[in-house]
Structure 1
Amino acid sequence: MVLTILRYAAKAAASFIALTVVLVVIFKWVPVPVTATMLMDENGITKDWESLDNIDRNLVSAVIAAEDSRYCEHFGFDAEAIELAMRENMEGGKIRGGSTISQQTAKNVFLWQGGGFFRKGLEAWFTFWIELIWGKRRIMEVYLNVAETGIGTYGAEAGTQRYFGHSAARMNRDEASRMAAALPSPKKRSVKSPGGWLARHGNRIERRIGIVRRDGLDACVYD
C-alpha cells in the first residue's frame, strides 16, 4: 500500500516537473496568451503584446529603479530585500513585499494573485525555472506584457496607449516613472494625474532612472 502511494506520488511529481518545463520552454518563445489574473478580471481584458524592442528602455529602467534594483545581480530572489521586508513586517505597520521582478513574472504568468505558503512555494519553483530557461531579457519582456497597468488593462503597450495616447516604443522618463510608480496597485494609483505621495514617488523613480543607466543596473536586459 505504501509503495503504491509512493509510486503515484513519484509519477505525480514527475508529471508536474515535466509540465513545468514544457510550459516554461513554450513561453520562452511564444507570447503568453492569457493569465489567471486576466481571466478573473471583471473589468475585461485590454492588452497588446509587444516585443521588448518596441518598449522604450526608459520603462525598463523605471521598473528596475522602482521595484528591483538588483535585478541584474540576483538569480530570481533578492535575499536582502526579503530580509528587510521580514524585519519591517515584524515591526508592524504597512506590509512590505520582497518580491523581485522575476517572482512577480512567475506569479503573473503561471499562478494567481494572493498569498499563502503554497502559492509562494509554487512561485519560487517557477521563478527558478524562468531564470534558468528564459534569462533576464525574456523575463523583463514577459513582465512588461502581462503586468496589470490599469483597470482591465495589461502590458506596457495597452497602458501607454490608455494613459498617454501613443506607443510604448517612445516613453519619456516622466511617463515611464509614473507608470512604474503605479504598477504595484494600478487600480488605485493614478498614472495620468498622481498627487501627494504618489507624485513624489514617481519623481524619485525618475531621478533613479539616471542611476540605473549610469551604473548599468539594466545592462543584463540589453547585453
Structure 2
Amino acid sequence: MIKKILRFLWKVALCFFVVSTFFVVLFKFVPVPFTPLMGIRALEQKADGQEMTCSHDWVPLEEISPNLQKAVIASEDATFLTHYGFDFNAMSKAMESNEKGKKLRGGSTISQQTAKNVFLWQGRSYLRKGLEAYFTVLIELIWGKERIMEVYLNSIEMGTGVYGVEAASKHWYGKSAKDVSKREAAGIAAILPNPRKFKASNSSSYTERRKTRIMRHMRYVKLEY
C-alpha cells in the first residue's frame, strides 16, 4: 500500500515537473496572454456588480523605455541584475521588521514576483511560497534576466484592470511605454505596492515622495542584462 502511494506521488511530481517546465519554456518565446490575477480581479469585479475590465497590451522589451526598467529595479529589487532569483538579505530584513510588529513588508525579488504573477495565485501559504521558489529557479535558469524583466513589465498589475507598462502608460499618461519620462516611469513604479489604491498621476504627497526617491535611485541602475 505504501509503495503504491509513493509510486502515485512520484508520478504526480513527475507530471507536474514536465508540465511546468513545458510552460516555462513556452513562455520564454511566447507572450503571456493571461495571468491568474487577471482572472481573480475579473471575478471580483463581477461579484461587486462592476463591469469587468482588463487592459493588457504586450510589447517587447525594446519598445519599453529604459526609464521604466530602471524605475522598477530601483523601486522593487535593487539587486535584480546580480542575484540568482532570491535576495536573502532583503528577506531577512523583511522577517525582522514583520516580527517586530512593524508594517508588513515583503522581500520578494522581481523574479519571485514574476513567477507568482504568471504561474500562481495570490496568498501567503507555505504551499504557494514553495511553488513560487520552484518557478523562480526555473525562470532564472530558462528565461534569464532580460526575459524575466520583459514578462514582469508586461504582466504586473498597475491599476484597476490595468496590466503591463504599455497599458499603464496609456492609462496614466496617454502615451506609449517607450515614450515615458523618468518622472512618469517613477510614478508607475511608485504605485506598485498597491496599484488599485495609489495613482501615478495626480498623486498624493506620499506617492510624490516615493517618485522622488525612486528617481534618485534610478541614477545608480545600470541595465547590464
Q: Fold-level match, TM-score > 0.5?
A: yes
Report Cα offsets for 1:177-211 as digits up to 9, x if no partner. Answer: 00001012100011111122221011100111111
3-state secondary structure, aligned to 2:158: strand
Using the size of structure 2 for normalisation, the TM-score is 0.94
3-state secondary structure, aligned to 1:219: coil
Instruction: State the match for 1:46 in structure 2.
Output: 55
- How many residues align? The count is 216
Q: Does 1:188 align with 2:193?
A: no
Instruction: State the match for 1:159 in structure 2.
Output: 168
Distance 1:210 1:75 in 2: 23
Distance 1:145 1:37 in 2: 13
Using the size of structure 1 for normalisation, the TM-score is 0.95
Q: Does 1:103 align with 2:112?
A: yes
1:24 and 1:129 in contact (8 A); partners too? yes
How well do the aligned residues superpose, as a CA RMSD in angstroms?
A: 0.8
Instruction: State the match for 1:91 in structure 2.
Output: 100
Instruction: State the match for 1:169 in structure 2.
Output: 178
Instruction: State the match for 1:219 in structure 2.
Output: 224
Identity %: 48
3-state secondary structure, aligned to 2:107: coil
Shift of 1:106: 0.2
Q: Which stretches in structure 1 are left out of the alignment for 5+ residues?
A: none
3-state secondary structure, aligned to 2:168: helix
Distance 1:29 1:192 in 2: 33
Distance 1:96 1:195 in 2: 21
Counterpart code for 1:73: T
Counterpart code for 2:224: A
Match of 1:59 among 44, 47, 68: 68
Instruction: State the match for 2:24 in structure 1.
Output: 24
3-state secondary structure, aligned to 1:150: coil
Report Cα offsets for 1:63-110 as digits up to 9, x if no partner. Answer: 000010000111100010000000111111200100000000000000
Distance 1:139 1:219 in 2: 14
1:135-150 aligned within 5 A = 135-150=144-159
Distance 2:33 2:99 in 1: 39
1:82 and 1:99 in contact (8 A); partners too? yes
1:38 and 1:44 in contact (8 A); partners too? no
Shift of 1:44: 2.3
